[in-house]
Structure 1
Amino acid sequence: MCIAIPGKMTAIVDENTATIDMGGICRDVNMALMGGAKESMIGKHFLVHVGYAISEISEEESEETMRLLKIMAGLEEIDSLESESQ
């Protein structure tokens, strides 16, 4: 099974690479499959698989996918406890 992680583009590194924030973890991602990294893409959301952006998705889809991944990983409880203590 393959899993793609949702994230938001925060910066451009070079013409084919961008920094993507995936739930607070930022990685440089190859954007070649998306036609390269462009200024107009900053702030947009993408699915990332093995270091490549493979599709653009909506912000809502990105948030929902990350929420479901956290539930599957058993991290949803941790998030609930952190928000209660603040």
Structure 2
Amino acid sequence: MCLAIPARVVELLDDDMAVVAFDTIRKRISLALVADVSLGDFVLVHVGYALHKVSPEEAERTLQLMAEAGVLEEEREEISA
């Protein structure tokens, strides 16, 4: 299953790229689809692209619901692959 998962932007790179953090996992993604992303923002990430920004509260709520539904661990495995 591939879902969009919230992640915090921890590094801004050239060419609309960034590094995001999912707990301890860091992943390089594209910001080409989202405007005005800053360091520390949360974005929803799907297959290597940020789809849109979300508030920290929405990110936490989404991660909590995913964990309760049992899908968060399999998403983390896909992200780290």
Q: TM-score under structure 1 normalisation?
A: 0.72
Separation of aligned partners in 2, 1:74 and 1:33: 25
Post-superposition CA distance 1:14-34 (Å, at most 9, x none): 231100112321100100001
Q: Distance in 2 between matches of 1:10 and 1:50?
A: 18
- Which aligned runs of 4 or more in structure 1 are off by greater than 6 angstroms? none
- Structure with greater contact order relative to length (CA < 8 Å, sep ≥ 6): 2
Note if 1:51 corresponds to 2:62. no
CA, structure 1 residues 29+74, in 2 after alignment: closer, same or farther (shift >3 Å)?
closer
In 1: Cα distance, 2:69 partner to 2:13 partner = 32
Q: Secondary structure at the match of 2:33?
A: helix
Q: TM-score, normalised by structure 2?
A: 0.76
Would the alpha carbon gap of residues 5 and 74 (structure 1) be closer, same or farther in structure 2, given more than 3 Å must change? closer
The CA deviation at 1:68 is 1.1
Question: For the residues of structure 1 that align with 2:26 and 2:3, how far apart are their CA atoms?
Answer: 17
**Aligned residue number for residue 27 of structure 1:** 27
1:45-79 CA distances to partner (integer Å, 9 max, x unpaired)?
Answer: 1000110000000000001111111112277xxxx
Q: More helix per residue: 1 or 2?
A: 1
Structure of greater Rg? 1
**Percentage identity across paired residues of the two chains:** 35
Give the distance between the partners of 2:47 and 2:68, measured in 1 at CA: 21
